[in-house]
A and B are shown apart, each in its own frame.
Chain A
């Protein structure tokens, strides 16, 4: 970096100081974003490759694969809602107390709504977002089915997707109890009784007790559902999500192929083509 050295005196010192600050600033930014604003083909590739968040994407893709009328962005929207739910959920956890004693859980929900700044908005976004996620995950499943995107080599990723659908249902279901109002405990009572009817009755009763921790929905159920809702199920979902995304990255978007896997596979070019050929010979 060429330093400004010519003017002397106070002005010169100020200019040098400013240039020095600019240098440090450039160093700081440069250490975070290595390649600056991606304005060339190479820069745009590096932007994807060098970012831990973006490198989940391939560097190039067929335009057909990302057309809105093809995917409707449903998987991405589901994932985004999951992130938003995590954020609002963590904020809600600062205030919420999962205790049925003196209706504390209920009281804290009321406090969140009525006393915390933006509390009502926070709870509303969490609740509507959760319902939204159930809907978008279901629609995403329909999209994947109707575009045949479960076909080889993506069979296992479809199964992972079904697991994610179930986990989404369970996350929503466990969250349903937490407000500890009439709507909550009776919905969970109906739901857990349904699960508890698993034949034979001995097994059904055992599962019911395992879930509820009691004969009726009470404090034990509340703490179990709370723990599952805020840590157990999100962890499980994150693991399955990681596998889901990893497989998409490796197999490519279903319409059109990604080329990165082919380059790294050198020679045995295109995995999906190979698998297709295998699939065809089976038919």
Chain B
């Protein structure tokens, strides 16, 4: 490529990206050779005043108007005065932490409330140091396969999580019974106990001396720590393995795998938040979204959408 003589500003974006994907250092050579001529810069760029300033101004106006309208039409919730003796059922964290509260139902609280989110945040912050490639800068979804990798990952995560949540429903599936009564007929054990709960009970009844505390510790160590950790790691590794098998020609690179994992994270965040907000009723039982008894935000949003 004759990049040597090209002014930086003169390379059209599309062409530049194509060249970059091929690994050609389009910008470096010309940048090294001589300063860019002001004329080239001018031809290739627009002035921030007015081109960007106007967009910013309009966005600010639109959002101010939208927020004033929303604030006029929908009132913030205000319940009764705080009372430390009256625990509401269910007690829910703010909606953006309901994903963690959902995890809390399935594993030890330290794992769900501290370790998993900490690891997730560190992994998030480490993305640029894991995916160190320079291609794909300023391009939506990296390359043609990017959207496919992301979409598959999101669907995979959603399906797996739905199955896992539904499986781990100790006595809580009861709420689903009315909705799926015909399907649940003749499956009382699974319906009322849930397979994972049955496993917990089996462990609890293990002939492990007569010491209930020791038994509790054992059950927690296995069902609260080991089992959930293994499940989480297995499905993450499995995702990578499946992605690598799906996209073999050419083999997936680090950037594409990171797109898969990030999409899985986003899907997890959204799905668990949704389940926590719209599908957990009294006693944190699982309900179908249309049957869940009124709870703070779920109710407000359903109300805003005119569904109740």
Contact = CB atoms under 8 A, between A and B. Distances in A.
Contact of A270 (B31, B96, B133): B31
B23 A280 contact: yes
A139 to B, nearest CB: 10
A281 B77 CA distance: 56
A61 interface: yes
Given A125-B67, A179-B78, A276-B27, A155 B128 contact: yes
B221 to A, nearest CB: 13
B250 interface: no
Interface stretch (A5-13, A17-25, A105-113): A105-113
A84 B67 contact: yes
Interface in A190-247: 190-191, 193-195, 197-199, 204, 216-218
How many residues of B sit at the interface, in one of the four size bands? 35 or more
A198 B138 contact: no
Nearest to A257: B8
A66 interface: yes
B58 to A, nearest CB: 9
Nearest to B12: A64
Nearest to A258: B45
Contacts of B211: none
B134 interface: yes
A163 B141 CA distance: 24
A146 B47 contact: no
B241 interface: no
Contact of B36 (A45, A122, A169, A269): A269
Q: Is the interface of B mostly helix, strand, loop or mixed?
A: helix
Nearest to B91: A186
B110 A198 contact: yes
Interface in A136-162: 138, 142, 145-152, 154-155, 158-159, 162
A273 B137 contact: no
A158 B127 contact: yes
A57 B91 contact: no
A186 B35 contact: no
A124 B134 contact: no
Interface residues of A, number: 106
A210 B113 CA distance: 17
Given A125-B68, A148-B136, A176-B94, A194 B82 contact: no
A48 B276 CA distance: 46
A270 B8 contact: yes
Interface in B203-226: none
Contact of B140 (A45, A147, A187, A269): A147
Interface in B140-193: 140-142, 146, 150
What are the 4 A-B residue pairs with the smallest beta carbon separation, nearest first? A194-B113, A255-B138, A124-B71, A155-B128
Interface of A: 38, 41, 44-45, 47-48, 54, 57-66, 68, 70, 73, 76-77, 80-81, 84, 100, 103, 106, 109-110, 113, 120-125, 127-129, 131-132, 134, 138, 142, 145-152, 154-155, 158-159, 162-163, 166, 169, 172-173, 176, 179-187, 189-191, 193-195, 197-199, 204, 216-218, 254-257, 259, 262-263, 266-267, 269-270, 272-274, 276-277, 279-280, 282-283
